[in-house]
């Protein structure tokens, strides 16, 4: 590494990869997004007001209960009807904020009917799961009218855990197609990374995320056995190279290995306890404010719009807490990626592509309140500081070795009879002749190592060294042996 590597200058150079107009557009999108939080809350309050004023839910509850008290059925049906009506009334706002605006900024290519259809499916899922949640919540309120808010936090934890566990199995496949990463250099690399940190290597998927969003992104979902890393196909459409994949997948593996989703779910459940406590105290005045004279207190399922109006306001007020919580996990995942896979440039290249939906250089306060990921400017800065502190001694060696080895036959001294060396092609494939046929696969040169992955999946690596007159290779703990390189013809192909 050059002595005069300057992290600040390197960060500025990354940010300058986007023209000023693109940064301005990203700022407009991001600032608009902050305001959407406020407008979205106001829309939710208006919708709650309309539903309460209509008296529809109290009428429904009365009809279900008739002469007999049927609290379970009433809370489930009122819950389902409320969720459906609320979604329908909020539809124009949702269509504007989640589809039309995304389209305006070029962040989605999805046509409106596709968006609407997926919205209908998720409403159906939400209505059933939400109906069950409200049934359980109202049962708690009836059984423990003084302490229900405490149990409510536990209930929330159970539902979050169940949703996390089941989402990759039953919900995500409804919206997107998940396929194991296809054979090739990307999968070889990701599998090797997974082995390095002890993450199951069969948990890496690619999904057709470009269907809904043009955002360059990857994620971790699931819990315990269902957990997995998924890369959106937009990553490949926007041309991710191996260093980028290593940087990004290293970040996602960080979420996985350090159980961020469990931590976040735990804290969210604690916040839910606090929120339910406040709902318990604020319900009566809020119901009066929204004009719900017929609502019989917090235990009445017809009061759901009041309950959710209070929750909506509390969530808005909690934005700095929830975004900071997630931001800390994100920062930790970046650190995991850097410290395990050391791809500061790969990570930075990928981060630049996320600026279009997250402006790069917000003020500190804006970042704390609204950003659920550290600002890209700061993330790149940290990556560049990491790079300055952890130079890769092998970068130059790797480049040299790649140039020398490619399209050459690597010949070891004392080759077994019938073998004439390992042929390394410039396209990343290799083959080796035996008495009884051919071995072949893909190879990679990185971190001072030449690694050959066979088609059947086995992998061997050689440490690369320089000798006076060429190159040495050392397998595992073996001593380095001097190898000779002979040019191969592109046509030389295993039969
Ligand atoms: Zn992340």
Query: Per residue, what are the HEC states of 383-433?
Result: HHHHHHHCCCCCHHHHHHHHHHHCCEEEECCCCCCCCCCEEECCCCEEEEE
Q: Is the pLDDT confidence value at 447 over 50?
A: yes
Q: Are 486 and 411 in contact (CB under 8 A)?
A: yes
Distance 251 CA to ligand 1 centre (A): 6
Distance CA 322, CA 345 (A): 29
- Run of H or E residues at 481: strand 481-487
Pairing type for strands 422-424 and 429-434 reads: antiparallel
Mind listing the domains of the chain with CATH numbers? 20-173+261-321 (no CATH), 395-490 (2.40.128)
Read off the tokens for 118. Answer: 């997926």
User: What's the sign of the alpha-carbon dihedral 187, 225, 195, 216?
Assistant: positive
The pLDDT value given to residue 375 = 93
Distance 326 CA to ligand 1 centre (A): 9
The pLDDT value given to residue 448 = 84
The pLDDT value given to residue 454 = 86
Q: Is the pLDDT confidence value at 72 over 80?
A: yes
Distance 383 CA to ligand 1 centre (A): 15
Report long-range pairs for 143-151 (Cβ below 8 Å, ≥24 apart).
145/299, 148/276, 148/280, 149/273, 149/276, 149/277, 149/279, 149/280, 150/273, 150/276, 150/277
Q: Is the pLDDT confidence value at 491 over 70?
A: no
Q: What is the largest CA-CA distance in the chain?
A: 97
Q: Are 316 and 335 in contact (CB under 8 A)?
A: no
Distance CA 91, CA 389 (A): 51
Distance 364 CA to ligand 1 centre (A): 20
pLDDT digits (tens, 9 = 90+) for 342-380: 999 999 999 998 898 888 889 999 999 999 899 999 999
Of residues 303, 262, 292, 296, the one with CA closest to residue 137: 303
Distance 261 CA to ligand 1 centre (A): 10
For residue 145, the 8-state DSSP code is: T
Q: Which residues are annotated as a binding site for Zn(2+)?
A: 251, 255, 330
Q: Are 229 and 220 in contact (CB under 8 A)?
A: yes
Q: Which of 85-94, 100-109, 453-462 has the highest mean pLDDT?
A: 85-94
Q: Which residues are annotated as a binding site?
A: 251, 255, 330
pTM for the full predicted model: 0.76
CA dist 418 → 361, 422, 424, 430, 432 (Å): 61, 12, 18, 17, 10
- Range of lowest pLDDT (3-7, 120-124, 148-152, 391-395): 391-395
- List, by residue number, the catalytic residues: 252, 334
Distance 296 CA to ligand 1 centre (A): 44
The pLDDT value given to residue 1 = 44
Distance 64 CA to ligand 1 centre (A): 46
């Amino acid at each position: 590494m050059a002595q005069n590597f300057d992290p600040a200058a390197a960060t500025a150079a990354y940010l300058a990869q986007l023209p000023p107009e693109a940064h301005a557009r990203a700022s407009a999108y991001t600032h608009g997004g902050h305001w959407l939080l406020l407008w979205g809350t106001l829309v939710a309050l208006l919708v709650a007001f309309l539903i309460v004023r209509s008296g529809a839910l109290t009428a429904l509850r009365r009809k279900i209960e008739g002469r007999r008290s049927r609290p379970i059925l009433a809370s489930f049906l009122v819950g389902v009807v409320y969720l459906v009506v609320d979604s329908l009334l909020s539809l124009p706002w949702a269509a504007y904020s989640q589809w039309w605006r995304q389209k305006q900024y070029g962040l989605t290519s999805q046509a409106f009917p596709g968006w609407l259809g997926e919205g209908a499916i998720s409403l159906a899922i939400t209505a059933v799961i939400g109906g069950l949640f409200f049934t359980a919540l109202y049962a708690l309120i009836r059984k423990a009218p003084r302490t229900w808010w405490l149990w409510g936090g536990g209930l929330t934890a159970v539902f979050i855990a169940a949703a996390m566990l089941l989402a990759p199995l039953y919900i995500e496949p409804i919206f997107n197609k998940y396929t194991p990463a296809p054979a090739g250099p990307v999968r070889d690399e990701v599998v090797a990374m997974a082995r390095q940190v002890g993450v199951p290597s069969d948990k890496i998927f690619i999904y057709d995320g470009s269907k809904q969003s043009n955002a360059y992104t990857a994620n971790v979902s699931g819990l315990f056995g269902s957990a997995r890393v998924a890369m959106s196909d937009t990553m490949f459409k926007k041309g991710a190279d191996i260093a980028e994949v290593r940087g990004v997948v290293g970040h996602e593996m960080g979420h996985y290995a350090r159980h961020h989703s469990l931590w976040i779910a735990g804290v969210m459940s604690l916040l839910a306890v606090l929120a339910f406590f406040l709902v318990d105290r604020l319900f009566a005045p809020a119901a009066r404010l929204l004009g719900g004279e017929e609502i019989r207190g917090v235990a009445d399922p017809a009061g759901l719009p009041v309950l959710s109006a209070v929750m909506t306001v509390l969530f808005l007020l909690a934005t700095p807490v929830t975004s900071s919580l997630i931001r800390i996990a994100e920062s930790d995942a970046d650190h995991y990626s850097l410290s395990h896979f050391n791809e500061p440039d790969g990570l930075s290249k990928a981060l630049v592509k996320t600026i279009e939906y997250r402006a790069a250089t917000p003020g500190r306060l804006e970042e704390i309140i609204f950003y659920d990921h550290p600002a890209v400017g700061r993330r790149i800065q940290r990556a560049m500081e990491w790079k300055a502190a952890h130079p890769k001694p092998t970068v130059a060696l790797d480049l040299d070795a790649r140039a020398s080895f490619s399209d050459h036959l690597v010949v070891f001294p004392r080759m077994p009879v019938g073998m004439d060396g390992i042929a390394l092609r410039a396209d990343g494939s290799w083959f080796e002749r035996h008495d009884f046929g051919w071995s072949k696969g893909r190879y990679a040169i990185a971190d001072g190592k030449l690694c050959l992955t066979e088609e059947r999946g086995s992998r061997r690596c050689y440490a690369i060294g320089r000798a006076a007159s060429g190159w040495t290779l050392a397998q595992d703990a073996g001593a380095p042996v001097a190898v000779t390189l002979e040019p191969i013809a592109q046509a030389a192909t295993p039969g």
